[in-house]
Amino acid sequence: MRQPWYRRLPIFTACAGVVFLSGNARASAYISKVSGIVQLQHSGTDRWELVRDVPLDVADQDSVRTGRGAQTTLSFDDGSRVELGPNATFTLEESSRGRSSIKLNFGALKAFVQRIAARRFEVKTPTAVCSVRGTEFKVEVLAGGQTVVDLYKGLLAVEDRRGQQILLHPNETIHVDLRGLNKAAGLPTKNQARQTAFHAIMQREMGLELSKHEILASAAREVKLAEFQQGKALIDVHGDRVRLEEYIIRPSPNQFKLVVLDQSKENGLNLFSYLGTFNQNLPADLKQALNQLNGTVDTAPTWWLTGFQTVRTNTQDSIVEIANGGHPVDVNHNGVPGDQIAFLFNPVTNTYMSVAGHNVYQTLFDNYGFYVNSRLTYGWATPGGNVQSYTLVTNASTVDPISGAALTAANAWIDPNTGQLATRSVSSTFPDADQIHQVIFESYSTGDFIRWDNYIFTNDGQIATTANFNAATAGTSYLQGILKFNFEQDITSSQFSGRKIDLVVEPKILVQAGLIQ
């Protein structure tokens, strides 16, 4: 079933420590490599300067930070180096003949330390100190100062704020929090690490651990790079005044990202984001690619999505969609009668045009997962990939379709009667005959539910009727007509403890970018 446009929108843990180097030669430090936005703050100043050329010396008490998707390498004269991951900040506390020190404030770093006699290397975080004598390890500082340390080679002493210490051996990991050291354990296998990393991304990158401050700070950085940007204040369907900010950026040459931020006194901060990854680098004019998202007729698309992820969050609850394995399929000639499309909407003429018998290419995804507060509710996978029809996918039951992890009550909605992923049923109604208010209700065999209340409304909060919506789009282009309206989506769930995700979207930016056509 074709969905309406508003549903189709497309390292080491924190150680309370510092890194020290000591020896007879001067152990100067310098930035030797950068990728993405990397900034340097000189000691005694509050100004962050963009690192443009390397190598660049880093002096005592200088700080370095990386942006989203960025990386940098800090090298030392003895051959040691520290690789800093995205969204991370550290301070070089000291670099002298006796020792050098780095304090990791947030994010992840990976250290490669040369084994040189009389030289000491330490990494400090809010909760731990890691002392090194020739080793390879990773440290990450998470929200709340929690630190995770992974040791790959050599020996590593890890000390907490209480002075308790443990010696890590190769292929061991330990967590350190405000309570102190936890028990060391073996590093996970590659498959286990992939699953763990997936859920970490689910929790952090997709909103479960993003505070209001972090979301707004990230938005402030991204807006500077926006190709399309809109903002206004309006009254929503509940009579609440909402401040709306929308922007579209290119995180990488083959990606685009749409972000919508809503703030109101009644509902706080709500966020929607859509990150799409294409088969090749996007053109200078984004519309050329985005206009092809809903499908092409007669000829295959030049650009198509190979994957996407959407996030809806109120900073406490989140709904996340992830899809990968995207590829174009001629749905009118794939041998599945139910997939055929006879008409496609033409926004230029404001009518449906006949495409029966034509090649109609649409993007299908081999794998898809839908998550509520990081737990899978439904999804599918395609054994062997290259799915030609969604009637051929395998619905998820015991394995996560994205990460491959075994499903449990901790990471999925498991039906206690079957021990498998809950079954789902969906209904769609329009409870108000004279208003454009759609209710989609999803019920699950666990007793859980998700309810979507979708509205089209004017800037003063009046819900549109079919009559005035048709009148607004008649005699003009359809795209010009819908610019007179806004879209609001209220999401409630049995898992939200009485809260809701309340999203307001102004279509203008979607029309400008070619996402609505």
CA–CA dist 204, 210 (Å, integer): 6
Type and span of the H or E element at 343:
strand 343-346
Question: Same domain for 223 and 366?
Answer: yes
Question: Same domain for 159 and 293?
Answer: no
Question: Same domain for 256 and 169?
Answer: no
Tell me, what's the pLDDT at 198? 52
Q: Are strands 121-124 and 100-113 parallel, antiparallel or unpaired?
A: parallel
Tell me, what's the pLDDT at 472? 75
- Whether residue 192 lies inside any domain: the answer is no
- Whether residue 51 lies inside any domain: the answer is yes
- Whether residue 196 lies inside any domain: the answer is no
Q: How many CB atoms lie within 10 A of CB 412?
A: 28
Question: Same domain for 215 and 350?
Answer: yes
Question: Same domain for 367 and 391?
Answer: yes
- Whether residue 195 lies inside any domain: the answer is no
Question: Same domain for 140 and 255?
Answer: no
Looking from the CA of 358 toward its CB, the CA atoms found within 13 Å total: 17
CA–CA dist 181, 147 (Å, integer): 10
Q: Mind listing the pLDDT tens digit for each residue in 355-372?
A: 888 999 999 999 999 999
Question: Same domain for 378 and 474?
Answer: yes
Question: Same domain for 271 and 415?
Answer: yes
- Whether residue 24 lies inside any domain: the answer is yes
Task: Give the domain range for residue 72.
Answer: 5-187
Tell me, what's the pLDDT at 19? 32
Dihedral through CA 140, CA 496, CA 324, CA 6, nearest 10? -130
The residue type found at 488 is: E
Question: Same domain for 309 and 451?
Answer: yes
Residue 42: CATH number of its domain? 2.60.120.1440
CA–CA dist 180, 292 (Å, integer): 54
- Whether residue 394 lies inside any domain: the answer is yes
- Whether residue 193 lies inside any domain: the answer is no
Among 153, 187, 221, the domain-final residue is 187
Q: Mind listing the pLDDT tens digit for each residue in 82-119?
A: 999 888 889 998 877 667 788 998 888 988 887 655 56
Question: Same domain for 226 and 282?
Answer: yes
* Below-50 pLDDT ranges, the chain: 1-27, 199, 201-209
DSSP string, 375-429: EEEEEEE-TTS--S-GGGSEE-SSB-TTT-PBP-TTTB-B-TTTSSBPPEEEEEE
In order of 19, 34, 65, 80, 84, the CA distances from 73 in angstroms are 15, 7, 11, 10, 6
Question: Same domain for 232 and 160?
Answer: no
Tell me, what's the pLDDT at 423? 96
Q: Into how many domains does the chain fold?
A: 2
- Whether residue 485 lies inside any domain: the answer is yes
Question: Same domain for 179 and 217?
Answer: no
In order of 16, 150, 208, 407, the CA distances from 510 in angstroms are 45, 44, 26, 36
pTM over 0.75: no
Among 154, 187, 220, the domain-final residue is 187
Tell me, what's the pLDDT at 440? 94
Among 187, 216, 244, the domain-final residue is 187
Tell me, what's the pLDDT at 459? 87
In order of 75, 218, 457, the CA distances from 243 in angstroms are 45, 17, 15
